[in-house]
Amino acid sequence: MSHKVTVRKFDAVIVGAGGAGLRAAIQLSEAGLKTAVLTKVFPTRSHTVAAQGGVAASLGNSEEDHWHWHMYDTVKGSDWLGDQDAIEFMCRKANECVIELEHYGMPFDRLDNGRIYQRPFGGHMSNFGEKPVRRSCAAADRTGHAMLHAMYQRNVKVNTQFFVEWMALDLIRDAEGEVLGVTAMEMETGEIHAFHAKATIFATGGAGRIYYSSTNAFINTGDGVGIAARAGIPLEDMEFWQFHPTGVAGAGVLITEGVRGEGGILRNSAGERFMERYAPNAKDLASRDVVSRAMVTEINEGRGCGPNRDFVLLDITHLPPETIMKRLPGIHEIALQFAGVDALKEPIPVVPTCHYQMGGIPTNYLGQVVVPGKRSQNEIVPGFYAAGECACASVHGANRLGTNSLLDLLVFGKSAGETAVEQLKNSPKAHKPLPEDAFAATLARLNRLDTQKGGANVHETRLEMQRTMQKHAGVFRFADLLKDGVQKILAVQKDVQRTEIKDKSKVFNTARIEALELDNLIEVAVATMVSAEARKESRGAHVRDDAPDTPEHPNGRDDTNWLKHTLWYKDGNRLDYKSVTLRPMSVETIALKKRAY
């Protein structure tokens, strides 16, 4: 079929209606700007809904806390790869953003004095790393659900215009590189539209589906990240993927770290609380990369559980049943549904599972997309913003702390929205004209897919990608596997370029949608493998066999050569690097040191 493109004009277009997109939309709608929010799924189906344990803010409701301590923990958690200006910005804004959410109606759990309930979480400590602190603001173990619904509801109140079940396809940029909107497909009709806008905000979430075993929803296909890469934007720090320690073995479904925050313990086949050996101070509440590696080490050394000794146990049977049913009701339900276990009586089988993309579209703390140019390594791409998991601000660096993702999407969703509002106030009335070839990339992609004969099966190609990523770029990384992995993933990329679908219908064609999603996933997968192969050190979630712990390089980290952000360009599959911002906004630099918990 041939495609006509209908052009629609808006002040701003937001792609994605998860936490970051909804938070940005509130800013733009409240400012009275004509805004279109495009979303592949009804907003409350977005993956923010699956977040469980909480959102970080140093409210200090249960004990003394300070944004500076939170900042220290986040820099340390990032293994010093996070940009300290953005981290300070996020930690300082946390209280304001969480209080706003409460005012929107979010049903946080409460303390006896009526304030928001806070629980401990991995890597969050008081007084610059001393001992765990209660910083995670929670609504039972359904914080993401409560948050996403509260923000959707706020958008209903401020009359945000949603385009539900519309999939963004490609970015429109002119000759000067300015971003002028996106092309998108209305899924119900298959029709193609262009959203011509002065500001384009990407809030499309992560791409956890590049891995075979993932806590992520089916929709987490890195659409914004893939689109940006195809439009010439480099991707930052894509080698850093978080493997969450506690995915349900076999099913991959997330079990929140809040379980350990409430007192849950990880045990090996001997019943031993093994985290005491790996993190004597924080124990089960060490940072996620540390816990995941400890678990894999236990399994690899034969102390796993079950007939194949391939998982460990998360034990909460010692907790009072009332605590479990009050604070962790969703976990009780998930354990029953996906592990067939009554967590009140039996431990839950868990394994590290791909969970979060630390890298993404490079931005500054104002949500503006930045790329290296002639004048600086962070030149603003006019008209283009990104926030949430698809973006790299960079606050998570080489490893994200639990509860900082919900905070990230609040702070930077708001910040991107505010910056866009400012830009629109000062921009000329008329839209910049669209270039003549504005829809060429989209139409070429769709026509190729419509007419492909004897091509590759989408389902099988995606599986091949996921297995390749799982084997070659997992919790522990090996130089030879990474090298092979690059060749293998480039071979999969060739298949992605010739995928074929049997379903040619115009109406809600989910086969076409999955093929278009795979176009985005593969960009992320290639970026990940190539960036990981090149980074010859261990840092945060990226740990290589050929960069072990030595006196010169504690934990295998090499600050002399690798204290820098990776930038991967699709064009030529090329790598570049830029320096880490070590100078915060108002406080002193948190100095480099060995990371231990």
Partner 1 sequence: MTTRTLQFKIYRYDPDQDQKPYMQDIAVDVDATDRKLLDAMVKLKAVDDSIAFRRSCREGVCGSDALNINGRNGLACLADLASFPDGKPIVLRPLPGLPVIRDLIVDMTQFFKQYHSIKPYLINNDPPPERERLQSPEDREELNGLYECILCACCSTSCPSFWWNPDKFVGPAGLLAAYRFIADTRDQATNERLDNLEDPYRLFRCHTIMNCVDVCPKGLNPTKAIGKIKDMMVKRAI
What H or E segment, with its residue span, contains residue 135? strand 131-137
114 binds partner 1 (CB under 8 A): yes
CA distance 567 to 575: 6
DSSP strands (E only) in 138-178: 161-164, 166-173
Stretch near partner 1 under the rule CB under 8 A, chosen from 64-72, 489-497, 502-510, 588-596? 502-510
Q: Which stretch binds partner 1 (CB under 8 A): 21-29, 43-51, 237-245, 536-544?
A: 43-51
Angle CA 568–501–463, to nearest 5: 50
Of 38, 235, 465, 501, which one interacts with partner 1 (CB under 8 A)?
501
- Is 535 tagged catalytic? no
Tell me, what DSSP letter sits at residue 69?
H
Which element (helix H / strand E) includes 183?
Answer: strand 179-186
Give the span between the Cα atoms of 63 and 118, in whole angstroms. 10
- Residue ranges in 343-402 that form contacts with partner 1 under rule CB under 8 A: none
510 binds partner 1 (CB under 8 A): yes
| Rounded least distance, CB 191 to partner 1, Å | 12
Choose the binding region for partner 1 from 104-112, 277-285, 374-382, 569-577 (rule: CB under 8 A). 104-112
Tell me how far, at minimum, the Cβ of 140 lies from partner 1, in Å: 8
Q: Which two tokens stand for residue 306?
A: 């079950």
Cα gap 53→133, rounded to integer Å: 15
Q: In what order do the strands lie in the sheet with 265-267?
A: 241-248, 348-357, 312-315, 265-267
Residues 6+ apart with CB under 8 A from 92: 67, 71
Q: Does 334 bind partner 1 (CB under 8 A)?
A: yes
Counting contacts by CB under 8 A, is residue 308 touching partner 1?
Answer: no
By CB under 8 A, which span of 6-14, 75-83, 153-161, 359-367 interacts with partner 1?
A: 153-161
Residue 320 lies near partner 1 (rule: CB under 8 A): no
Please give the Cα distance from 9 to 525 (Å, whole number).
33
β-partners of residue 491 are: none
Q: Is 67 in the site for partner 1 (CB under 8 A)?
A: no
Query: Of the candidates 127, 300, 451, 505, which one interacts with partner 1 according to CB under 8 A?
Result: 505
Interface pick for partner 1 out of 14, 38, 41, 331 (rule CB under 8 A): 41
Rule CB under 8 A: say whether 225 interacts with partner 1.
no
Cα–Cα distance between 329 and 338 in angstroms, integer?
Answer: 14
Among 435, 397, 367, which residue's Cα sits nearest to residue 535?
397
Q: Are 116 and 61 in contact (CB under 8 A)?
A: yes
- Rule CB under 8 A: say whether 219 interacts with partner 1: yes
Is the CB of 28 or the CB of 197 nearer to partner 1? 28
Q: Which residues bind partner 1 (CB under 8 A)?
A: 41-42, 44-47, 49-50, 99, 102-105, 107-116, 139, 142, 145-146, 149-150, 153-154, 156-157, 188, 217-219, 250-251, 253-254, 330, 333-334, 337-338, 457-460, 501-503, 505-511, 514
Active site residues: 288
